[in-house]
Each structure stands twice: as C-alpha cells, then as structure tokens.
C-alpha cells in the first residue's frame, strides 16, 4: 500500500519562496510518476508539476514554469516542489500524488493518480 507524506507549506508573503516535500513509500521507486496538484477554494484541482522517477523527465504547468520547479532525491524516495516569486493567486491546498508508470504516462491529470498525500496549505499574503 502506497503512502505519501507531505511536509512544508504554511504562510509566506508576496514574492517569497517555499519548498514542499513528498515522501513516498510502498511503491517501487523507479517506476512511478509523482506529481503536484493544487486546489483553491471553489476551483478545480490544477496540475502543477510532475516527475517520472525512473527517468530525467519532468513537467511543469506552462503558467508556472518561470517560478516553480520539481526535483527529487532518489536516495530518500522524496519529491520536492520549489516555489519562488509566490503570489496571492498561488494560495491553495497543495497535494502530491503518485501513479505507477513511466514518463509516457506522466501527466498533470488528477484522474490518472490513485495515491495521494494528505495535502498542505500554502497561503500567500499580499
């Protein structure tokens, strides 16, 4: 049974930076897609970034490419979301998610993911 544990999050001022972590257990590390999603109140869940653990493949939502980055530490089975230049519109609950598969199936569609972290709130004040 897969288990995703998130850490990080909290409140930050406009223009600040923050890093979220997602520690994954219970899955074969080298054959998964791990992604970050976010959901603001009243809005649909939005794909942020993805990485295929068995490759160098990464994917960032077009609107966030200049401010967000995804990385991982394979020795810790952990994926990170580094966020810079944060804006109030980045305020949301952030979730990491995992699905079994390689880079071909690694996309920002929440319906493709069966394993989810507990979520962490990110609040950006103006």
Residue 65 has pLDDT above 90, yes or no: yes
Mean pLDDT across the stretch 13-27?
97
pLDDT band, very low/low/confident/very high, at 105 (cuts 50, 70, 90): confident
Q: Which of 44, 45, 43, 19 is nearest to 97 (CA)?
A: 45
DSSP state of 125: E
Model pLDDT, residue 85: 98
DSSP state of 105: G
**C-beta of residue 72 within 8 angstroms of C-beta of residue 65:** no
Residues 6+ apart with CB under 8 A from 28: 100
Model pLDDT, residue 122: 98
**Pairing, β 46-52 against β 58-60:** antiparallel
pLDDT band, very low/low/confident/very high, at 103 (cuts 50, 70, 90): confident
């Amino acid at each position: 049974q897969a288990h995703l544990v998130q850490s990080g999050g909290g409140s930050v001022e406009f223009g600040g930076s923050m890093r979220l972590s997602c520690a994954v257990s219970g899955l074969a590390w080298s054959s998964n897609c791990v992604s970050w999603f976010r959901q603001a109140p009243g809005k649909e869940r939005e794909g942020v970034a993805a990485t295929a653990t068995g490759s160098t493949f990464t994917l960032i939502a077009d609107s966030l490419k200049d401010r967000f980055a995804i990385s991982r530490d394979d020795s810790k089975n952990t994926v990170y979301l580094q966020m810079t230049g944060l804006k109030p519109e980045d305020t949301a609950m952030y979730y990491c998610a995992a699905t079994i598969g390689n880079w071909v199936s690694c996309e920002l569609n929440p319906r493709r993911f069966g394993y989810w972290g507990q979520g962490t709130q990110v609040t950006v004040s103006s």
